[in-house]
Amino acid sequence: MSDLEIWIVIVALAVSTAITRSGFWLVGHRVTIPRRVNEMLRYAPSCALAAIIGPDLLLEPESLQVTLLNGKLLAGIASVGWYLWRRNMLETIVFGMLFFTALRLLHLF
Amino acid sequence: MNKASDVVTPDPAAWRDGVRTGIPTLFGIGAWGLVVGVAMIKSGLTLPQALGMTLLVFAGSAQLASLPLIAAGAPIWVIFTTGLVVNLRFVIFSALLAPHFRMLPWYQRLHLGFVSGDISIALFLQRYPDPAPSKGKLSYLKGLLYPNWASWQIGSIAGIFLGNVVPAEWGLGFAGTLAILCVMVPMVASRPALCGVLVAGGVSVLAAGLPYKLGLLAAVLVGMFTAMAVEELGDRFAAAKGQP
């Protein structure tokens, strides 16, 4: 692609961000969402977060193969345990990264 | 009773509260941005193009999805559509957040929607599940959104400049996953939410091969339906046992 074409792509992507993220903010008050749908939407944030991290924890990135014994999943489980114990997010992230790095350097997984 | 004007009145305490709530996640967000920055420069974008993309687009997964398409010289409308589809979950998020701030002028709504990220929205809705006006809401939201935006951009720009220095096997993007885990854990305190999250995670893995990251959207929808069904069943069970 030429430089100009890439810049057009970048602007097009910025527009797609604006439509999806800001669309409802701009016209939402003219749309009435049914009560049932609204109730269901309450669960959207947690489900979206789960859907974002699911593949990173469970899949081999190259082959898309499910692996239950991998460093990220184990570090993820250990981190949830740490978080439930300490209730401190920053500590949990540092602990999880150290745990993951240790597993990687020791070639355990 | 709180009025709409209370929502928009600047409230430094609420702003600080928002910043404090978000601070622990910033490290993960920055690391995630770093990974996307490295990916952009490694895919062959020039320095100005990569900087322009991170500053103008601000949508990590859409950026990552577009890189191979740009490299392959795909038509612009295909890349645009891909961006729309990859971002579709934000339509759900904005439907949840917009009612809280409908009193704002349009340019502020456009701007706030544009800088809202997954984790910030989840944290905001934890604090304010109800769209009814409440004092300091806007300041709290900004306290979450602006540092989140800044740490993403700092991480991303660092990644663009570091380019090939950061080895991929360090797995820095994993910090973003850990940040999300921490935000998610308190949200699954109820049985319906837990079921929804488990199902959404499972579907996202099974459907990961779908094009345009449609697996993500499918996972959110199936997870939501599951949570709703479990809630419904729980209500009926409680009613049958004669409890409220």
Instruction: List the domain range (segments joined by +) for residue A13.
Output: 1-31
| Gap between the terminal Cα atoms of chain B | 28
How much is the pLDDT for B1? 52
Nearest CA in chain A to B22: A89
Q: Quick one: tokens of B139?
A: 């300041």
Interface A-B, measured as beta-carbon pairs within 8 A, has a size of 275
Does the beta-carbon distance from B102 to A16 stay under 8 Å? no
Q: Are A59 and A109 part of one and the same domain? A: yes
How much is the pLDDT for B141? 96
pLDDT in tens, B115-128: 999 899 999 999 99
* A15 belongs to a structural domain: yes
Q: Are A24 and A47 part of one and the same domain? A: no
* A86 belongs to a structural domain: yes
The residue among A86, A82, A87, A88 whose CA lies nearest residue A100 is A82
How much is the pLDDT for A61? 79
Task: Indicate whether B2 pLDDT > 80.
Answer: no
Q: How many domains does chain A have?
A: 2
Mean pLDDT highest for which of B62-66, B143-147, B168-172, B238-242? B143-147
As a residue count, chain B comes to 244
How much is the pLDDT for B112? 94
How much is the pLDDT for B242? 66
Are the C-beta atoms of residues B201 and A53 closer than 8 Å to each other?
yes
Distance of alpha carbon A108 from alpha carbon A87, whole angstroms: 28
pLDDT in tens, A52-79: 899 999 998 778 888 888 999 999 999 9
Beta bridge partner(s), residue A59: A66
* A36 belongs to a structural domain: no
* A7 belongs to a structural domain: yes
Beta bridge partner(s), residue A66: A59
- Which secondary structure element, helix H or strand E, spans residue B216, and what is its range? helix B214-240
Are the C-beta atoms of residues B58 and B149 closer than 8 Å to each other?
yes
Nearest CA in chain A to B110: A22
Q: Are A1 and A49 part of one and the same domain? A: no
How much is the pLDDT for B234? 87
Q: Give the residue-averaged pLDDT of B13-30.
A: 93
Instruction: Establish if A46 touches chain B: CB-CB under 8 angstroms.
Output: yes
- Of residues A109 and B141, more confidently modeled: B141
How much is the pLDDT for B244? 53
How much is the pLDDT for B165? 82
Q: How far is B2 from chain A (nearest CA, A)?
A: 20
Residue from B80, B90, B182, B231 whose CB has the most chain A CBs within 10 Å, to mutate: B182
* A37 belongs to a structural domain: no
- Work out the pLDDT band at B243, boundaries 50, 70, 90: low
Does the beta-carbon distance from A83 to B79 stay under 8 Å? no
* A67 belongs to a structural domain: yes
Q: How crowded is residue A8: how many other Cβ atoms within 10 Å of its Cβ?
A: 15
Does the beta-carbon distance from B174 to A100 stay under 8 Å? yes
Q: Are A48 and A24 part of one and the same domain? A: no
- Work out the pLDDT band at A80, boundaries 50, 70, 90: very high
pLDDT in tens, A9-46: 999 999 999 999 999 999 877 888 888 888 888 899 89
Q: What is the percent of chain B where pLDDT is above 90?
A: 53
Does the beta-carbon distance from A51 to B93 stay under 8 Å? no
Measuring CA to CA, how many Å separate A19 from each of A11, B26, B214? Answer: 12, 25, 17
Task: Tell me the chain A residues in contact with residue B180 when contact means C-beta distances shorter than 8 Å.
Answer: 49, 52-53
For residues B210-223, one letter each, b for 16 or more C-beta atoms within 10 angstroms of the residue's C-beta and e for the rest, the string is: eebbebbbbbbbbb
Are the C-beta atoms of residues B206 and A78 closer than 8 Å to each other?
no
Q: What is the percent of chain B where pLDDT is above 70?
A: 98
| ipTM of the complex in this document | 0.89
How much is the pLDDT for B32? 87
Nearest CA in chain A to B72: A1
Does the beta-carbon distance from B181 to A79 stay under 8 Å? yes
Average per-residue pLDDT for chain B: 90
Instruction: Establish if A99 touches chain B: CB-CB under 8 angstroms.
Output: no
Residue from A27, A36, A43 whose CB has the most chain B CBs within 10 Å, to mutate: A43
The residue among B115, B112, B119 whose CA lies nearest residue B138 is B112
For A:48-87, CB contacts with B below 8 A are 48-59, 64, 66, 72, 75-76, 79-80, 83-84
Residue from B87, B178, B180, B185 whose CB has the most chain A CBs within 10 Å, to mutate: B178
The residue among A10, A52, A24, A87 whose CA lies nearest residue B93 is A24
Are the C-beta atoms of residues A48 and B222 closer than 8 Å to each other?
no
How much is the pLDDT for A28? 78
